[in-house]
Amino acid sequence: MNDTRIELKTEERTPCEVWTRVMGYHRPVSAFNNGKRAEHAERCYFSEQPQVAQRRVEQLAA
């Protein structure tokens, strides 16, 4: 296969609007006030592992 990469200039890019769920409904982050934006930036995200992987980790630790 041919490895051709497409590179765009900044002015050619389309801005991406980020939405998040707040108090039971979805809102764009761009509509947040300064306090809510700071709160959004401090959020922690996690990735849940399947149970099989968790048991494997426990077996290796034992």
Flag whether 55 is in a domain. Answer: yes
Flag whether 50 is in a domain. Answer: yes
Please list the residues that pair with 27 across neighbouring strands: 20
Distance CA 62, CA 60 (A): 6
Flag whether 25 is in a domain. Answer: yes
Q: How many domains does the chain have?
A: 1
Flag whether 49 is in a domain. Answer: yes
Q: Once rounded to an integer, what is the mean pLDDT over residues 2-29?
A: 86
Flag whether 4 is in a domain. Answer: no
Flag whether 3 is in a domain. Answer: no
Flag whether 22 is in a domain. Answer: yes
Flag whether 47 is in a domain. Answer: yes
pLDDT over threshold 90, residue 55: no
pLDDT at 17: 92
Distances (CA, A) of 59 to 48, 51, 54, 56, 62: 18, 12, 9, 5, 5
Distances (CA, A) of 6 to 2, 11, 13, 38, 48: 12, 15, 12, 34, 34
pLDDT at 54: 63
